[in-house]
Amino acid sequence: MAQSLGALPRGAEGLRQAGGASTTGGAVEQAREMAQTLGLNPGDELYDQLLATARTREDDAPAWGARVDALGRDPETIDAFGEECRQLGLAWDAKPLTVQNLLDGEAGTQLEAYYQQYPKLISHYKFADVTLLRELPIAYIVAGHTRISSNAVATTRRGTQTRQRFRFFPAGRDSKFPMYGVRTETEGLLFELDKLAVVRWLVDSGVIENPDLRTQEEAQEWIFQFSDPVLDAFNAPTNPVTKAILGLVHSMAHRTMKALATRCGLNVDSLGEYLFPSNCAYLVYANTRSNFTLGGLEHVYRFDLEDALCELDAETRCVFDPPCRRDFGGACAACLHISEAACARFNTVLDRNLLFGTLPPLISDPVGASSPSRMKGERRWRGYWSR
């Protein structure tokens, strides 16, 4: 969480510092090595001064913890937020290729002018950044099974209903449950939303009052304070802020997967998503179990990112509109739904209204009347990508 708040460096180095270590060793150990190089021995005045200064530096290192404590959340909530942030921190270390890396690598070439358009384009779609992760580690783990049908409640021949539960694979003689898995590396694109734009969108949609934030760090701190961790992959959150941000991030991820699939050489069902809702970010990766990386996402990032981003809001309609967007949740198999094997939430909490805004009343509606969806008390959304 301290990484997300800007109090620690991104990636594994920030995690090491949080644990009291770094890639170059602790401050005290560095001081001892310096003293040895200078020929100083314990008891020398300069030696003692070096170690005292180093210990002070190490004592000051956990100052990042005060930023997290100041949020005022309970330990369980902090742990849940922290796990999401830890996964994001690990993703940041997957051999990232940033827009600045592209500009530096192609300086003086014809591609430089093309890459110079990336920051403006990314900002136009209210992203903070888009980063290519070239060596993204993915582990596929199977610990057991639940059911075959999509219904969580099974009915016996006698008519009694029993709720299905997760069943681990049978334990061995050592009473340990076996788990089967494979670790591989793939490529992915990490999309980070502009958190200030997200908060403004919540304000414009009437979800919250204006908190008057100025920086990305302040917006992230506000999100940690007033949203909840997303722990249920099946049901929508009850917290309205959490539900809105999750719906925005998830709907955007599906829209992005469809735009990338037409350009990277992979079917949309061969892509996967990982959501970081409390960080207003999502990851789209090549969902493969082999050690071979096609390189399709890297090709899009290097040469076709502009067209992929422009497709995000090129078509706001669905073939089943207006009923789909007005009365059926703004998502169906013809627009936002993808294969449940590729979706992290089984096509739940999706809504195009969050991206493009709630449709106005129909001309045929009586004056002052609302559509059926409005009569249910649903909110009128201001589109995140409003033109």
Residue 374 has pLDDT above 50, yes or no: no
pLDDT value of position 22: 47
For range 117-136, the mean pLDDT: 96
Least confident of 13-27, 28-42, 310-324, 345-359: 13-27
Query: pLDDT at position 149, please?
Result: 56
% the chain with pLDDT above 70: 88
Please tell me which residue, 26 or 103, carries the higher pLDDT value.
Answer: 103
Per mean pLDDT, which range of 62-66, 219-223, 255-259 is the poorest? Answer: 62-66
Confidence of residue 73 (pLDDT cuts 50, 70, 90): very high
Q: What is the mean pLDDT of residues 21-27?
A: 51
Average pLDDT of 251-257?
Answer: 97
Most confident range, picked from 17-21, 145-149, 308-312, 377-381:
308-312
Residue 387's pLDDT is what?
61
Which pLDDT value is given to residue 42?
A: 84
Distance CA 277, CA 292 (A): 29
Write down the pLDDT at residue 58: 58
- Assess whether pLDDT exceeds 90 at residue 386: no
Write down the domain spans for the chain. 12-69, 75-139+184-375, 140-182
| Mean pLDDT of the 111-137 span | 96
Residue 45 has what pLDDT? Answer: 82
Q: Which residue has the higher pLDDT, 20 or 134?
A: 134
Residue bearing the bigger pLDDT, 321 or 387 = 321
Percent share of the chain, pLDDT over 90: 60
375 confidence band (pLDDT: 50, 70, 90): very low
Q: How does pLDDT run across 101-121, given as a tens digit for each residue? A: 999 999 999 999 999 999 999
Confidence at residue 30, expressed as pLDDT on a 0 to 100 scale: 74
pLDDT tens, 142-167?
988 876 555 667 777 787 777 777 78
* Per-residue pLDDT at 267 exceeds 70: yes
Q: What is the model's pLDDT at position 24?
A: 44
| Whether residue 376 has pLDDT greater than 60 | no
Give pLDDT, residue 27: 66
Q: Is the distance from CB of 111 to CB of 298 less than 8 angstroms? A: no
Mean pLDDT of 33-42: 81
Question: Which is higher by pLDDT, 369 or 115?
Answer: 115
Mean pLDDT of the chain: 87
Angle 253-256-257 from CA coordinates, rounded to 5°: 85
Query: Is residue 256 pLDDT above 90, yes or no?
Result: yes
Reported pTM: 0.83
Report the C-alpha gap between 104 and 124 in whole angstroms. 22
pLDDT at 23: 44
